[in-house]
Amino acid sequence: MPRRPGARLAEDGRDPERVPENWNELLDPAEWRLNAEGLPFRRAARVIALRREPRPAILLVIGHDFGDASHVWAFTPGGGLLPGETPVHGARRELAEETGIGLSAAALTGPVVERRALFVFNRVTCRQDELFYLAHLGSADVAIDRSGWTAAEQEVLDSLRWWELNELDAAVTQGLTIYPRILPRLAHELMDGWDGAVRRIDEGIA
């Protein structure tokens, strides 16, 4: 990952303009490592969970920033990979921890999206590489359970629920921020299955 032109890194390897000295108190240092760009970086895996009944819907989390409660956005269940963990295993683990939904590896399709993201969280500019897997859930699979949320997640995650696709489209039109930005359109496309094309996205909000 290239360093910003002309950027000078601090002695500890961080970009001092975008990463505060105490960044490892603001982010979990077990998950994040400074990269060559001087930014905390991690790899992550997520699940685009869809259901057809009673109406087409997607499972989404709404969360806010530690450092700015007005910074709110919607996203799919998922999170950082543990050391030595495969993306498929990480996607399944995160889905189970965040939603209570346990799936086999065979139940995941993809990855259907590869996303490279630059964002600010808790006053720290971060890089994250994400893989998104697709899961179609039947009526017996859709009960959700938030009891697996960690204390940190309980602080920043506001809701977890099924969004009907038409409802999501209307919310985005009214200003709801969602990542990846193509997700509302993609959910419609994936409702009848994956076409085999991996969507590659480079998104930056910092």
Q: For residue 71, what pLDDT is reported?
A: 75
Q: What is the pLDDT of residues 81-92, one digit of tens each?
A: 999 999 999 999
Q: For residue 1, what pLDDT is reported?
A: 45
Q: For residue 171, what pLDDT is reported?
A: 95
Set out the domains of the chain in order of their start, with CATH numbers: 26-204 (3.90.79.10)
Count the Cβ atoms, other than its own, within 10 Å of residue 107. 17
Name the pTM for this structure.
Answer: 0.89
66-69 contacts, C-beta under 8 A, 24 or more apart: 66/26, 66/121, 66/122, 66/155, 66/156, 67/26, 67/121, 67/122, 67/123
Q: For residue 123, what pLDDT is reported?
A: 86
Q: Which residue has the higher pLDDT, 24 or 145?
A: 24
Cα separation, 32 vs 115, in Å, equals: 17
Residue 3 has pLDDT above 90, yes or no: no
Residue 125: strand, helix, or coil = strand
Q: For residue 30, what pLDDT is reported?
A: 85
Confidence of residue 65 (pLDDT cuts 50, 70, 90): confident
Closest by Cα among 67, 64, 48 to 154: 64
